[in-house]
């Protein structure tokens, strides 16, 4: 029971790595940086595996397993402990974070090998791992907030890794500030939770939720949602994520695809006990998710930067996770989080491999025909594409299908939106694949020396490709001839008292009826899975027609639908809109009204005015300064008398 007793070891390992690299790493050779940077994450992964072993032997009554280490903040009736907890949800997140994190760290040793600031990169990555692990292991909202802000900080540092580029520094700042807008909501949620429950620990809040007024719970859930929208880049706060692609590609894979951006989904699932009692907030989660999933996919259709396509795809996929949670299928949402971590990390790393091969080129219009030149990258990326598009049997198929089914159960409109989004997903992903790897090369073959990536980059790709294929099998739904082990495993963590009545074992007389019902539904489920497959197939075929069969089609379409095309290309002008509505007015008012008019003009002006009057008055008074001692004495007397009278009169 070693790791269970010393839970802190898991986050502490990468923290130690970050501290060593940050304080001393500047003078280290690359090999030692690798050993510490990758080693700390590898150990954390090993510890997580050992934790799974120990956790599986834990009696159900002891879950969630809670460990309190020290009191972090206490004042008045408020108290926040440094306390970690483990339940099934934590286990899934831990494995995803440390596992995918380890692969990306290994990949980075190849990808970043020739970059300046190599130790700084690993220091930040390790620090990120620390905060992310803290986020998923926290046993109260305040500690979760620590991880929440901490990953935001690391994201800021890593987006701005190439700080010499102004665009990179700008993007980092934008990410931090937009996230802070979300955190404003998160912070208010914490305040309201504390006022309602008198505690910010998970256990009393979640178990006490049933007795609280629904309006309060809805307010809490909506405020938490604001935080989640910021961190997981949903409408309307998604604008920072595409810019975040300024960071090195492994950062995009780890932070802006697989783990950090999914923290919002994790938080909503973690707080499911609150959401389930607040149907309006659930509906908001679902609508935000579905609309974002579709909206972002439309922008992805026309982007030409390979990483930008993947960024909009990430926003879109996160939308699906929100949709899943919003319709009550929390397990499906977390399931998609996991499969998405596999295939999106793979896609980003493969894209990184392409960029690496092309000597830094990111524009797909100047790629093409790379299939034979970098076969490993091509085949692994194909696996990722099939997974995200929802090809039958691939991991993304199961997870997306689970969400679509749950959505159909709640609302046909949401289902249709999500289905259209799935079609678009398939289209833009195959577009990416075809533009990059198929057709004729569209670059100067003499200038660019295309080469396959080294082993330390290819191996993580291969592992992730395998996971992208098989990663969904554990959760294949029952009608697929399997039992949904994933959902069963998560059930204790994601069930709540309010849903307990659903789990009552039906009596023998009911069983027959249920079985008939199940057969009927299976038919429906098959059909619906078929619809999803058809949608993906349509997307694929259109992409094939546009970019392989008739490569001149896209241009014609763009010309005949000029206005909508331009709208999409410019991302609906949302950045410009925010700039016009928020950024410029704020700076203008602050400079020209608050600072120059109010501060320098009104306040300082009136003080100086008083000073001026005082000086004029003093000028007159100067005549009383005759230098005559007796007249001074007289003045002193008069003053003292006045003062005494005043005092006597006031005091009485």
Token readout for 551 is 């490569």
Backbone dihedral angles phi then psi of residue 419, each to the nearest 5 degrees = -65, -45
The answer to whether 215 contacts other proteins (rule: CB under 8 A) is no
Say how far apart CA 314 and CA 433 lie, in whole Å: 16
Query: Given the complex with other proteins, which of 223 and 297 has the nearer CB atom?
Result: 223
The answer to whether 511 contacts other proteins (rule: CB under 8 A) is no
Stretch that binds other proteins, among 55-63, 177-185, 277-285, 412-420 (CB under 8 A): 177-185
Angle, helices 118-137 vs 263-270, to 10°: value is 10
Handedness of CA 127, 332, 307, 109 (dihedral sign): positive
Stretch that binds other proteins, among 67-75, 386-394, 400-408, 496-504 (CB under 8 A): 67-75
List the one residue from 16, 181, 448, 531 that touches other proteins (CB under 8 A). 181
Task: Work out the burial of residue 206: count CB atoms within 10 Å of its CB; fewer than 13 is exposed, 13-18 middle, 19 or more buried.
Answer: middle
List the one residue from 74, 483, 570, 631 that touches other proteins (CB under 8 A). 74
Provide the H-helix boundaries in 327-454.
330-357, 375-389, 395-410, 412-437
- At residue 163, the 3 state secondary structure works out as coil
Query: Given the complex with other proteins, which of 84 and 297 has the nearer CB atom?
Result: 84
List the one residue from 8, 28, 184, 565 that touches other proteins (CB under 8 A). 184
Closest distance to other proteins from the beta carbon of 632 (Å): 20
The answer to whether 629 contacts other proteins (rule: CB under 8 A) is no
List the one residue from 30, 49, 188, 382 that touches other proteins (CB under 8 A). 188
Stretch that binds other proteins, among 182-190, 253-261, 375-383, 619-627 (CB under 8 A): 182-190
List the one residue from 113, 534, 603, 638 that touches other proteins (CB under 8 A). 603
SS3 content of the chain, % helix, strand, coil (to 5): 80, 5, 20
Contacts of 564 (CB under 8 A, 6+ apart): none
Whether the Cβ atoms of residue 343 and residue 349 lie closer than 8 Å to each other: no
Query: Given the complex with other proteins, which of 16 and 382 has the nearer CB atom?
Result: 16
The answer to whether 195 contacts other proteins (rule: CB under 8 A) is yes
Stretch that binds other proteins, among 3-11, 68-76, 479-487, 541-549 (CB under 8 A): 68-76
List the one residue from 16, 30, 95, 177 that touches other proteins (CB under 8 A). 177
List the one residue from 53, 599, 635, 637 that touches other proteins (CB under 8 A). 599
Residue 121 CA: distances (Å) to CA of 117, 127, 155, 158: 6, 10, 11, 7
Closest distance to other proteins from the beta carbon of 179 (Å): 9
Query: Given the complex with other proteins, which of 166 and 630 has the nearer CB atom?
Result: 166
The answer to whether 373 contacts other proteins (rule: CB under 8 A) is no
Subset of 306-345 contacting other proteins (CB under 8 A): none
Closest distance to other proteins from the beta carbon of 650 (Å): 7
The answer to whether 142 contacts other proteins (rule: CB under 8 A) is yes
The answer to whether 631 contacts other proteins (rule: CB under 8 A) is no
Say how far apart CA 86 and CA 82 lie, in whole Å: 14
The answer to whether 76 contacts other proteins (rule: CB under 8 A) is yes
The answer to whether 446 contacts other proteins (rule: CB under 8 A) is no
Whether the Cβ atoms of residue 47 and residue 10 lie closer than 8 Å to each other: yes
Pairing state between β 65-75 and 78-86 = antiparallel
Whether the Cβ atoms of residue 156 and residue 173 lie closer than 8 Å to each other: yes
Stretch that binds other proteins, among 6-14, 140-148, 341-349, 436-444 (CB under 8 A): 140-148
Closest distance to other proteins from the beta carbon of 498 (Å): 27
Subset of 574-593 contacting other proteins (CB under 8 A): 586-587, 589-591
The answer to whether 9 contacts other proteins (rule: CB under 8 A) is no
Exposure string over 279-311, b if 16+ CB within 10 A, otherwise e: eebbebbbbbbbbbbbbbbbbbbbbeebbbbbb
Query: Given the complex with other proteins, which of 87 and 246 has the nearer CB atom?
Result: 246
Say how far apart CA 11 and CA 13 lie, in whole Å: 6
List the one residue from 42, 187, 531, 558 that touches other proteins (CB under 8 A). 187
Angle, helices 412-437 vs 306-326, to 10°: value is 160
SS (H, E, C) 214-229: HHHHHHHHHHHHHHHH
Provide the H-helix boundaries in 248-329.
249-253, 263-270, 272-276, 279-300, 306-326
The answer to whether 544 contacts other proteins (rule: CB under 8 A) is no
Closest distance to other proteins from the beta carbon of 199 (Å): 12
Query: Is omega for the bond preceding 236 within 30 degrees of 0, making it cis?
Result: yes
Nearest to 151 by CA among 136, 162, 141, 170: 136
Subset of 13-42 contacting other proteins (CB under 8 A): 22, 26
Subset of 147-176 contacting other proteins (CB under 8 A): 149-150, 153, 156, 160, 163-166, 169-170, 173, 176
Say how far apart CA 400 and CA 436 lie, in whole Å: 25
Q: What is the DSSP letter of 112?
A: T
Closest distance to other proteins from the beta carbon of 385 (Å): 36
Whether the Cβ atoms of residue 100 and residue 262 lie closer than 8 Å to each other: no
What mask, x for binding other proteins by CB under 8 A, covers residues 609 to 628? --x-----------------
Binding site for other proteins (CB under 8 A): 22, 26, 71-78, 142, 145-146, 149-150, 153, 156, 160, 163-166, 169-170, 173, 176-177, 180-181, 183-184, 187-188, 190-192, 194-195, 586-587, 589-591, 594-595, 598-599, 603-604, 607, 611, 647, 650-651
């Amino acid at each position: 029971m070693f790791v269970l007793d010393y839970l802190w070891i898991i986050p502490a390992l990468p923290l130690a790595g970050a501290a060593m690299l940050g304080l001393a790493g500047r003078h280290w050779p690359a090999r030692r940086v690798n050993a510490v940077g990758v080693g700390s994450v590898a150990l954390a992964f090993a510890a997580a595996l050992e934790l799974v072993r120990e956790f599986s032997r834990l009696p159900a009554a002891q879950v969630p397993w809670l460990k309190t280490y020290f009191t972090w903040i206490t004042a008045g009736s408020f108290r926040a402990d440094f306390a970690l907890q483990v339940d099934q949800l934590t286990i899934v997140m831990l494995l995803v974070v440390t596992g995918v994190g380890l692969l990306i760290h290994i990949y980075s040793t190849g990808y970043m090998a020739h970059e300046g600031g190599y130790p700084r990169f690993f220091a930040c990555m390790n620090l990120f791992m620390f905060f992310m692990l803290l986020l998923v292991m926290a046993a109260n909202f305040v500690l979760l907030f620590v991880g929440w802000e901490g990953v935001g900080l690391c994201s800021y540092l890593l987006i701005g890794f190439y700080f010499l580029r102004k665009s990179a520094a700008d993007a980092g700042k934008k990410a931090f500030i937009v996230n802070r807008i979300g955190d404003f909501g998160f912070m208010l949620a914490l305040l309201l939770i504390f006022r309602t429950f008198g505690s910010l620990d998970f256990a009393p809040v979640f178990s006490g939720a049933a007795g609280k007024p629904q309006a309060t719970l809805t307010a809490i859930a909506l405020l938490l949602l604001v935080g989640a929208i910021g961190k997981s880049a949903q409408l309307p706060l998604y604008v920072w994520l595409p810019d975040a692609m300024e960071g090195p590609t492994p950062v995009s894979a780890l932070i802006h695809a697989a783990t950090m951006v999914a923290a919002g989904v994790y938080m909503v699932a973690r707080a499911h006990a609150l959401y389930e009692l607040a149907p309006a907030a659930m509906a908001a989660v679902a609508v935000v998710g579905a609309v974002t999933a579709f909206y972002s996919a439309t922008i992805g259709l026309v982007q030409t930067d390979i990483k930008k396509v993947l960024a909009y795809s990430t926003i879109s996929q996160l939308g699906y996770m929100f949709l899943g949670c919003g319709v009550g299928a929390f397990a499906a949402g977390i399931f998609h989080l996991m499969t998405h971590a596999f295939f999106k990390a793979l896609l980003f790393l493969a894209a990184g491999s392409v960029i690496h091969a092309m000597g830094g080129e990111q524009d797909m219009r100047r790629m093409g025909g790379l299939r034979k030149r970098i076969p490993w990258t091509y085949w692994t990326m194909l696996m990722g594409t099939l997974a995200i598009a929802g090809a039958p049997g691939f991991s993304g198929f199961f997870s997306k299908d689970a969400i679509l089914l749950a959505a159909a159960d709640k609302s046909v409109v949401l289902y249709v939106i999500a289905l259209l989004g799935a079609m678009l997903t398939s289209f833009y992903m195959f577009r990416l694949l075809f533009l990059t790897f198929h057709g004729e090369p569209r670059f100067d073959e003499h200038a660019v020396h295309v080469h396959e990536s080294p082993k330390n980059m290819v191996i993580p790709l291969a592992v992730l490709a395998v996971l992208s294929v098989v990663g969904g099998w554990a959760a294949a739904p029952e009608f697929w001839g399997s039992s949904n082990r994933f959902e069963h495993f998560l059930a204790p963590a994601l069930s709540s008292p309010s849903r307990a009545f659903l789990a009552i074992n039906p009596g023998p007389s009911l069983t027959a009826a249920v079985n008939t019902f199940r057969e009927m539904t299976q038919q429906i489920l098959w059909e619906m899975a078929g619809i999803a497959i058809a949608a993906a197939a349509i997307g694929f075929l259109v992409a094939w027609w546009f970019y392989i069969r008739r490569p001149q089609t896209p241009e014609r379409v763009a010309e005949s639908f000029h206005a909508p095309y331009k709208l999409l290309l410019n991302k609906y002008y949302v950045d410009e809109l925010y700039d016009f509505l928020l950024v410029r007015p704020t700076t203008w008012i602050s400079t020209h009204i608050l600072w120059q008019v109010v501060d320098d003009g009104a306040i300082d002006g009136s003080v100086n005015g008083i000073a001026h009057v005082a000086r004029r008055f003093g000028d007159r008074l100067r005549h009383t300064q005759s230098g005559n001692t007796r007249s001074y004495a007289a003045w002193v007397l008069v003053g003292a008398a006045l003062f005494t009278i005043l005092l006597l009169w006031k005091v009485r």
